Amino acid sequence: MTRNRVRGRLPVVLVLPAVIGLAFLLVPLAGLLIRTPWASLSTSLSAEVGEALRLSLICASLATVLCLFLGIPLAWLLARSGLPGRGFLRALVTVPLVLPPVVGGVALLLVLGRRGLIGEHLDAWFGISLPFTTAGVVVAEAFVAMPFLVISVEGALRAADPRYEEAAATLGASRWLTFRRVTLPSVLPGVVAGAVLCWARALGEFGATITFAGNFPGETTTMPLAVYLALETDPDAAIVLSIVLLLVSVGVLAGLRDRWISGPT
Amino acid sequence: MSRIANSVLVGAALMLAGCGSGGQAATASGTVTGDVTVFAAASLTETFTRLGEDFEEANPGTKVRFNFGGSSALAQQLDQGAPADVFASAAPANMKQVTDTRTITDAPRTFARNKLAIVVPKGNPGGISRLADFADAGRKIALCAEQVPCGAASQKVFELAKVTPAPDTLEQDVKAVLTKVSLGEVDGALVYRTDVRAAGDKVEGIEFAESAQAVNDYPIAPLAKAPNAVAAKAFVDFVLSGEGRAVLSAAGFDHP
């Protein structure tokens, strides 16, 4: 309703770059669609593609769950705790965003690999070895995707009105109860938006995955890895794989949007 | 995905570099000058880096730029129009990918041969001594993906030895395999003999008989649309010269 009031002529300085920006994002996707060998689409979809797609969806979803479990408390710590050095911590949390994913993969190997700082003990004490396993894919994806969730949730927490929490506290609620019943519901849109970003980033993850988890069909070959290897010998197959991944992710995101992210914002 | 984006960026950067040098070489036709962009197989990383330095020294005013990677990925980039002057592949099959599309018109020349070796981390924690040990699912094994030359050669030696390997990962190029070994993440892998030598004392190499029947020929050729055709030809000649041969054989390559 209020939006109508600020309507007027659209300023060219905003519209022109907006249109160029939209084209910049959409034209490469159009190129992919135009070059897709639609006629042979169904024949190029082998069982391996289904396997890679299934693996991608499962790993991205598990990585998102892992990020929610660890990321929401971390965001709360950064936004609410009054911890000294929070600004520095916040900067550190975003490091995986700027780190080239391959470097992230190497870092994970050095810590969680069979001879890594922690991985060495995991292997010796529990016989757990993460590289070259599906669990390794989830770890690599979560490492790269978690900052998206943390930043999004932290932003929502800082924007939320603390008076509701204070009110809950004066009514005798413990901090944990306040968090569950007041804080979390009030930042839910931020959590969902962060989870969607996190899921999308995990689904497209390539560098950290191939470096840390390797590449083996049915075990660690997710769609981006399959696309990359297909590109080397059979570009048409790579395009088909990309289209499948694109359609599935757009489908999921559109479905989520209708259900969760619509509303006043 | 990000890897592909990266190679696109590299391609764009090379394109800019190529444009700059093209004009420079044209003004001084006959003498070798300007930038030479060489796409070379990952297994040539050390030797070609060295040869590039030697070439720059022998031809003042030149600058050799390299794009090292899996031969199949490089061939793909060249077919998509990546601006380069020279292509050196680890297998004739990938050279054929670019000659088929007439991206390369000169007849490629074989400049080196390489064979596979078993590579294990220092101390050989997995106790690997022969190809048959690669069939043990209990050991961690890395191999090249079959799309890249080292993977195709690996497949061939396993067929010859009648061993069905149980790999834990299929890597996108030979250097990625070697990294997994030198970090100790796998018990054993197959790489080229030259890679074992290049990795120094972080790894141990084990030669095996079947490798002699799966020798990789390395062809090299200047590209048809080389931005710097004069320097491209000069670099190819340099690799094929006695000087080039000395560097290659010091690294463990056989001479064709």
The domain over range B116-213 is classified in CATH as 3.40.190.120: yes
* Residue-level pLDDT at A152: 93
Give the ipTM. Answer: 0.76
Say yes or no: do domains B2-112+218-250 and B116-213 share a fold.
yes
Query: Reduced to 3 states, what is the DSSP secondary structure of residue A45?
Result: coil
pLDDT at residue B5 is higher than 50: no
Amino acid sitting at position A62: L
Q: Cα-flanking dihedrals φ and ψ of residue B219, to 5°?
A: -90, 155
**How remote is the C-alpha of B206 from its chain's centroid?**
21
pLDDT at residue B15 is higher than 50: no
Considering only CB atoms, B70 lies closest to which of A216, A232, A235, namely: A232
Mutate to test the interface with B, among A137, A233, A246 (most CBs of B within 10 A): A233
Residue spans of the domains in chain B: they are 2-112+218-250, 116-213
pLDDT at residue B10 is higher than 60: no
B218 known member of a binding site: no
Distance CA B192, CA B119 (A): 9
The upper half-sphere exposure of residue A145, i.e. CA atoms within 13 Å in the direction of its Cβ, equals: 32
CB contact (8 A) between residue A115 and residue B183: yes
Distance CA A218, CA A237 (A): 18
Considering only CB atoms, B172 lies closest to which of A101, A109, A228, namely: A228
Considering only CB atoms, B147 lies closest to which of A113, A219, A229, namely: A229
- List the pLDDT tens digit at each of the 265 positions of chain A: 445 555 678 888 899 999 999 999 999 888 888 888 877 766 666 777 888 999 999 999 999 999 999 999 999 999 988 788 888 998 999 888 889 998 999 999 999 988 889 988 988 888 888 989 999 999 999 999 999 999 999 999 999 888 888 899 899 888 889 988 999 999 998 999 899 989 999 999 999 999 999 999 888 999 999 888 887 777 778 888 888 888 888 888 887 776 655 544 4
* Residue-level pLDDT at A35: 82
Considering only CB atoms, B2 lies closest to which of A110, A206, A233, namely: A206
* Residue-level pLDDT at B43: 87
Distance CA A17, CA A3 (A): 22
Q: Please check whether residue B22 is in contact with residue B70, taking contact to mean a CB–CB distance below 8 angstroms.
A: no
What would the mean pLDDT of B68-97 be, rounded to a whole number? 89
The full set of domains in chain A, from first to last, is 46-261 (1.10.3720.10)
Distance CA A98, CA A104 (A): 10
Amino acid sitting at position A121: H
Q: Cite the beta strand spans of chain B per DSSP E.
A: 34-41, 62-69, 86-88, 109-114, 116-121, 141-144, 169-171, 188-192, 203-206, 216-222
Question: Nearest CA of chain B to the CA of A77: how many Å?
Answer: 31
CB contact (8 A) between residue B169 and residue A204: no
* Residue-level pLDDT at A7: 64
B203 known member of a binding site: no
Question: Nearest CA of chain A to the CA of B240: how many Å?
Answer: 28
Interface A:B, Cβ pairs < 8 A: 78
Which residues in A lie closer than 8 A to residue B186 (C-beta atoms)? 132
From first CA to last CA, the distance across chain B in angstroms is 38
Q: What DSSP line would sit under B55-83, residue for residue?
A: HHHHSTTEEEEEEEE-HHHHHHHHHTT--
Distance CA B195, CA B117 (A): 9
Q: Which tokens go with A78?
A: 């950064």
What would the mean pLDDT of B87-114 be, rounded to a whole number? 87
Amino acid sitting at position B169: T
**Relative orientation angle of helices A134-159 and A101-112, to the nearest 10 degrees:** 110
B36 known member of a binding site: no
pTM score over 0.80: no
**Confidence band for B174, pLDDT divided at 50, 70 and 90:** confident
Which residues in A lie closer than 8 A to residue B72 (C-beta atoms)? 232-233
Residue in A closest to B170 by C-alpha: A215
Residue in B closest to A214 by C-alpha: B169
* CATH number for the segment(s) B2-112+218-250: 3.40.190.10
CB contact (8 A) between residue B4 and residue A132: no
